[in-house]
Amino acid sequence: MELDPYVAAVQRQLAAAAEAGGDDARELAARLAPALESAVRLALQDALAAAASEITLELAPGSVELRLRGRDPEFVVIAPQADVPDHADPQPAPATISFDADQGALARINLRVPPQLKERIEAAATSAGLSVNSWLVRTAALAAEGATSETRVQGISRDARKYRGWAR
């Protein structure tokens, strides 16, 4: 996403506002406009990051990330990962937990946990490469489905003898 048009718009608006103040105001605006570029870029990036976080809450277990390529941000949408079939194993595939995005709007739950548990949840989500919300959705789905050791989440299944699947 190119931020230059937005930065230029703020600089033009500053110049237009300075027109009403006379020569001293125009001169000050001309000196301030280039200095505002980095502040405006940072404010826009903060707004985009906040938007990505809000969208991620609605997409769970998928997510949206904001990444920087040079000076320009880009959005990356990460869809929930589908199970990868294990064609080499003749055993039937383990049960899967479906996170169907077509089920309609998502519901919101306020959850209060002790600080120590919150830290453990955040650590578990980070180690799984997920947002806390995505991790909690998956964990709640496993609990709600009466998860066994044969349940497949994120394409990995485990039984008492072996692991099979994929990891990232």
Domain ranges of the chain: 4-78, 101-165
Q: Look at residue 60 in the predicted model and tell me its pLDDT.
A: 74
Overall average pLDDT of the 129-146 stretch: 82
104: phi > 0 → left, psi -120 to 50 → alpha, else beta; which?
Answer: left
Per-chain mean pLDDT for the chain: 75
SS3 12: helix
Displacement of CA 159 from its chain's centroid (Å): 31
Where are the strands (E) in the chain, listed by range?
A: 63-69, 72-78, 156-158, 163-165
pLDDT exceeds cutoff 80 at 4: yes
Under the banding of pLDDT at 50, 70 and 90, the label for residue 105 is low
Under the banding of pLDDT at 50, 70 and 90, the label for residue 120 is very high
Higher pLDDT, 78 or 120: 120
Under the banding of pLDDT at 50, 70 and 90, the label for residue 152 is very low
Strand partners, 67: 74
pLDDT exceeds cutoff 50 at 102: no
Is residue 61 reached through a cis peptide bond, with omega within 30 degrees of 0 on the bond before it?
Answer: yes
Measured between alpha carbons, how far is 37 from 10 in angstroms, rounded to an integer?
9
Q: Look at residue 82 in the predicted model and tell me its pLDDT.
A: 61
Percent of the chain residues past pLDDT 70, beyond the cut: 71
Instruction: Name which of 138, 159, 155 is nearest 85 in CA terms.
Output: 155
Q: Look at residue 52 in the predicted model and tell me its pLDDT.
A: 85
Backbone angles phi, psi at 77, to 5 degrees: -95, 125
Higher pLDDT, 78 or 104: 78
Backbone angles phi, psi at 94, to 5 degrees: -65, 165
Measured between alpha carbons, how far is 168 from 155 in angstroms, rounded to an integer?
10
